[in-house]
Amino acid sequence: MKRFWSLFLCGLSLFVWAGDTLFEFSDPSGDDFGAGTLLYPSSPDFERGDLDLTSFSAQLEKDGVWFTVSFRNAVRSPKTRTSEISGDPLVDIARYGFFNLNVDIYIDTDHQLGSGNVESLPGRGVEIARENAWEKTILLTPRPREAQSLYLALMKGREKRKLDRDWDAQRAKTVASELEAWVEKNLFFPDKIKVRGHDISFFVPSSFLGQPKPDWGYAVLVSGADLEQSVNHGFLGQKEPGLMIMGLADGRPRWQFGIQPDSDLFQPPIVDLLANDVALQKKMLSHYNREQLPKIFAVRSEKMAPPIFADLPKAKLEAKATAQPTPPAPAETQPRVAPKPEPENAQKPEPPPQAAPAPTKSVADRLRELEQLRKDGLISEDEYQKLRAKILNDL
Amino acid sequence: MKLSKCLTVLAFFILPALILVAQDDRKIDWTGNIYTKWLDGDRRTNTGLYNNSEFGNGDTGQGTEFELFFKAKVSRQIEIGGRIKARFDRNFWSNGGGFADDENEPKSAQYMKFRGAYVRVTPGYSWIDSATIGSNDWGQFDALTFGKIRYIDRDNISGLLFQGSNQSKSFRWDVARVSLPKLWAGPNFSTGDLSQSDAAYVGQGRFTTGDWTIDAIGQYVIDREISGLDQDNRDGVDLSQRYRNTVMALKAKGSVSSVDLAAAYYHSDFYTVFEGTGNTRFTPTLNGAADDDVILFNIDVNDIAEGFTIRGQYFDVGAAYMSVMAARRESDILLTEGHDGSWGWSRPDYNVGSNARGSARSGIGYGGWDGHAAQVVSINADNDFTDFDEQMSESVLGWKGFTIAPELEIGDLSLTAEYTSLDYNTNWQAYGESSADLGIYPGMDGVHSWGLGGDWRSPYSAYQDKKTTIALIKGDYVVDVGEGIELKFRYKVVNDEDKRVTNPALLSDAYRFPASVITDVAYDDRDADYTAFGLSAGYQLTRDLYGMLEFERFEVDLVDGSIDMTPPLMDSWEPEFGWINYLTGDHEKNKIGIHLKYFLSGMEFGLKAQFFDGSYTPRFYNGVDGKLVEFQPTGATVQTAIGAISTAKVDLEQYRLKAFMKVQF
């Protein structure tokens, strides 16, 4: 027993250093219901409050940023739990001290209309408002390495479907390496994570994030984590698999979030998001139809004008589902494709929201063409870099 | 008549066709997984593909499980689903398709079994969210009342579940009727001859306001049999109760500033006509009527200072608290780590027993289970069908005490400590009666509860006066090298003292074979000091491959009474079976382990390999003038009450490996 106490006291003699606080945003408590009608699963691993985001903060360290997300309930530990498909201990699968939630953070670093990406990660069912298009995305998830592998696999599959008959071994190799480079530059999956009480803190190095600025915008989404990709999103009526995200089903199912009677099954499976009031969250998550996804606006440290919700295409919100039973839309339902980012020239007036036509050439071909233009001296280095970034954003 | 017959026949053929046409638009979703396990070890047992299994364990062999899930949306309001899975645990590759001696054994022949199906109805009424009819894991309630069914039995238990909430979702309710599984949910592991109507009725309400949640749970379990008094069947058959079990619970939790509070009170009432069957000492319920309580109180003071949190728990689990359907494993109701699973092997075979009796190759083996134990309140704690990398469960009926667990972050170093002081509501003489034969508490599972790790399954000892303290410190730190080296360490000490018989008049009641060997209450005292030290380093070797090396050292300094000591209530045949071993002395074992994980787009591989090397050095004590006094043996053996015990040091080793592949589709 003496040895124990001396060891404990030794641990206290190390240096303590704390970084500067970059920002701290608070989120209303009790708004973990998505657009207003989500129900928690009936599994004992989920309880109201578990995914209720209450604050999002950041502390600057010498070589990066420690972000912290706080929840109304204490973060659940994977200890004593087992995998749902094998009975193996969940701590071997979810190594970082949490297992039932994801947090997406989309960072708008330049506030340039049309600059950046609007598409969210697979399965989120939302897009980021063009005014806050993101340049960097961080996904806090219980299995970061696996999520990164899965994301690359999903994107490769998407590219393959786009290219269809033009797909061959050479293109596969080129696409793979370009995707890896793009993910390395734009997406980060933290694996330096600490869980304490209600908080999950995670480190993002400055080699990815750069030097954070006070005027950056953050769109933060909280969703249920599907650790083992067991949800069949096609069965739920979606065109593409989600990235480790739980889906929605009627009533109160065991392993998905439920929805209240007469709610739309195609609402996004986002349980909570960072917004300064509940009404705004509900509005963001319910302003959609089959032609346009819900748009999520970011928050910034500076005072912002309230977000503007443009009219939806076809001029109508879809009526809420009636009481009459309606079979779920099969997989061939109109895809809810995120509109492609607007051209970089921000001076153009904002066009009406619509799905941009898909490029006729593959990303690889366009990059090769661009390279040739540079070699031939037909474009400057600066123009080359800008256009290259634009083409890569099409991924 | 002919025309109507024609029309009837026509309708008979047309109607199904119409239904089939209408169903064309519906879709059945098939998913599933293939799980392959590879076991290897130097104990060379291959009677099952689980390291610990009562009816045939194994550390050698390869086998595959195949599982299919189906799901369909009949309409917006109706969803159906189910699970089909191959039988295990003798699904060895070497079965060659089952065409061997054990072809007729369903687990070897790997028949696909219908595990369960459900229909989930979402009628669309505002006061009910869902009704689920059929199989479920029943995790909606509480580990101390109706606990989540363990993974391998998931979907084996069926019933009716209704769930609802109010418009504002501030109130939620769940009500269920669950058919009692007749294999274990009753006295003597049975629900009697008339089992089909036996059920558990459970309901809970949860009210949430602001940061506070209040739960109320009520459970009633009833097992009825045909009444022997009713001799006239002409007016129906009367029933009598075989047992009933009522549990009520009230829980509250919430936050005040940065302090989280949670309190829970449970009361159980149990009645049974079953009084034991003489030879069967173990039964998963009490052998008589009793009621008792559980009190839990948790407080977490978050961020007292920068990076410093203290968690605390007070607990008092009544000795006679009884909930037949409480969680048996895969739940942990206490904050404390409890005991280490490494000493959980119940048949240590150091000096008594033999290979012929199989004791050395029974159960999990010398290395025990990884990690620490999880605490459950079931008498029927379940570690059957588990592998060494799973968490051991231990029953904590009768535990009372407190735990303090501070957590501290110093830069990148995270530290957690624990101090637990344990007393027991099961400290009594002869179960609180004039003789141990009168107790309603089921006897310990054999007496291999004796000695090193105690018995994880049964919390009751006829004679006990015990105190335990647990203290530990553990930490983790990521060294910023490459992808980051994840370092973890832990240091743990457990002190366990039990005076056992304290009433001299009851010595002869406790020690029956051989009779009256213990002549003083001090000569049966047990004092055990457990120490554990561990260090591990993990590294992401590539994006898809993770590796970890670990080292652990375990020591036990055990004094378990004098050489005249036998376990209380030991039967004469037990030493021969190797369930009793002489264990006083110094125990140590070193463990080196490697852990690999590989992930590839939907397919996962895992591997754990461990090597144990250790020893046991016996020590011997006589009872002298009311004290235990150690003596140095002069011969090769020392005669004790359980046989001639070698004085030589015993060297022990174990190698074991588990690898798995998991593919989801």
Q: Which of B184, B176, B273 is nearest to B224 (CA)?
A: B273
pLDDT per residue as tens digits for the range A270-319: 999 999 889 999 999 999 888 889 999 999 876 656 676 766 665 444 44
Answer yes or no: do B544 and A326 touch at CB < 8 A.
Answer: no
Of A277, A312, A347, the one marking the end of a domain is: A312
- Average pLDDT rounded to a whole number, residues B160-178: 92
Are A167 and A31 found together in one domain?
Answer: yes
Shortest distance between the Cα of B653 and any Cα of chain A, in A, equals 25
Contact in structure between A197 and A71 (CB atoms under 8 Å)? no
Q: What percent of chain B has pLDDT over 70?
A: 90
**Inside any domain, residue A182:** yes
Are A300 and A373 found together in one domain?
Answer: no
A203 forms beta bridges with A66
**Inside any domain, residue A172:** yes
Shortest distance between the Cα of B345 and any Cα of chain A, in A, equals 19
Statement: residue A204 has pLDDT above 70: yes
Are A373 and A269 found together in one domain?
Answer: no
Q: Which of B279, B284, B54, B270 is nearest to B189 (CA)?
A: B284
**Inside any domain, residue A95:** yes
Question: What pLDDT band is residue A240 in, cutting at 50, 70 and 90?
Answer: confident
What residue of B is the nearest CA neighbor of A74?
A: B260
**pLDDT value of residue A2:** 55
Contact in structure between A25 and A218 (CB atoms under 8 Å)? yes
pLDDT per residue as tens digits for the range B125-152: 888 889 999 999 999 999 999 999 998 8
Are A27 and A86 found together in one domain?
Answer: yes
- Average pLDDT rounded to a whole number, residues A180-188: 94
| Cβ contacts of B543 on chain A, cutoff 8 Å | 145, 148-149
Supply the mean pLDDT for chain A.
79
Rounded (10°) angle between helices A363-375 and A169-186? 80
What residue of B is the nearest CA neighbor of A153?
A: B601
Q: From the DSSP assignment, how many helices (H) and strands (E) are in chain A?
A: 7, 16
Are A119 and A207 found together in one domain?
Answer: yes
Of A242-251, A298-307, B301-310, the one with minimum mean pLDDT is A298-307
User: What is the distance between the alpha carbons of residues B602 and B663, in angstroms, rounded to a whole number?
Assistant: 6
The amino acid at A360: T
Q: Which of A45, A326, A330 sits opposite B76 (nearest CB)?
A: A326
What CA–CA distances, in Å, run from B531 to A3, B415, B448, B456, B569? 11, 19, 22, 19, 30
Statement: residue B394 has pLDDT above 80: yes
Q: What is the DSSP string of B177-190?
A: EEEPPTTTSSGGG-
**pLDDT value of residue A233:** 65
Of A312, A345, A370, the one marking the end of a domain is: A312
In chain A, the N- to C-terminal Cα span, in Å, equals: 59
**pLDDT value of residue A326:** 31
The amino acid at B542: T
**Inside any domain, residue A139:** yes
Are A282 and A376 found together in one domain?
Answer: no
If phi over 0 gives left and psi between -120 and 50 gives alpha, with beta otherwise, what is residue B255?
beta
B548 touches chain A (CB under 8 A): no
Are A232 and A363 found together in one domain?
Answer: no
**Inside any domain, residue A179:** yes
| Cβ contacts of A234 on chain B, cutoff 8 Å | 29
Helix (H) or strand (E) holding B5: helix B2-23
How many domains does chain A contain in total? 2
**pLDDT value of residue A168:** 77
Of A276, A293, A312, the one marking the end of a domain is: A312
Answer yes or no: do A85 and B471 touch at CB < 8 A.
Answer: no
**pLDDT value of residue B24:** 44
**pLDDT value of residue A238:** 65
Question: What pLDDT band is residue B515 in, cutting at 50, 70 and 90?
Answer: low
Statement: residue B310 has pLDDT above 60: yes
**pLDDT value of residue B232:** 85
**Inside any domain, residue A147:** yes
**Residue A252: helix, strand or coil by DSSP?**
coil
pLDDT per residue as tens digits for the range B530-558: 999 999 999 999 989 999 999 999 999 99
Instruction: Give the tokens for residue B436.
Output: 């141990």
Statement: residue B38 has pLDDT above 60: yes
CATH code for the domain of A83 = 2.60.40.1190
- Average pLDDT rounded to a whole number, residues A40-44: 88
pLDDT per residue as tens digits for the range B427-465: 999 999 999 888 889 876 555 445 576 666 678 888 999
Answer yes or no: do B139 and A45 touch at CB < 8 A.
Answer: yes
pLDDT per residue as tens digits for the range B317-346: 999 999 999 999 999 999 999 999 999 887
**Inside any domain, residue A284:** yes
Are A365 and A279 found together in one domain?
Answer: no
Q: What is the ipTM of this complex?
A: 0.86
Q: Which of B629, B607, B610 is nearest to B554 (CA)?
A: B610
Statement: residue B40 has pLDDT above 60: yes
Are A139 and A280 found together in one domain?
Answer: yes
The whole domain housing A390 covers 359-395
Contact in structure between B470 and B422 (CB atoms under 8 Å)? yes
**How would you write A266-316 as a 3-class SS string?**
CCCCCCEECCCCHHHHHHHHHCCECCECCEECCEECCCCCCCCCCCCHHHC
- Average pLDDT rounded to a whole number, residues A191-211: 93
| Cβ contacts of B491 on chain A, cutoff 8 Å | 3-4, 7
Supply the mean pLDDT for chain B.
88
| Cβ contacts of B484 on chain A, cutoff 8 Å | 191-192
Are A182 and A126 found together in one domain?
Answer: yes
**pLDDT value of residue A359:** 44
The number of residues in chain A equals 395
pLDDT per residue as tens digits for the range B268-284: 999 998 876 554 457 88
Q: Which of A15, A228, A262 sits opposite B411 (nearest CB)?
A: A15
Are A240 and A387 found together in one domain?
Answer: no
Are A389 and A276 found together in one domain?
Answer: no
**Inside any domain, residue A375:** yes
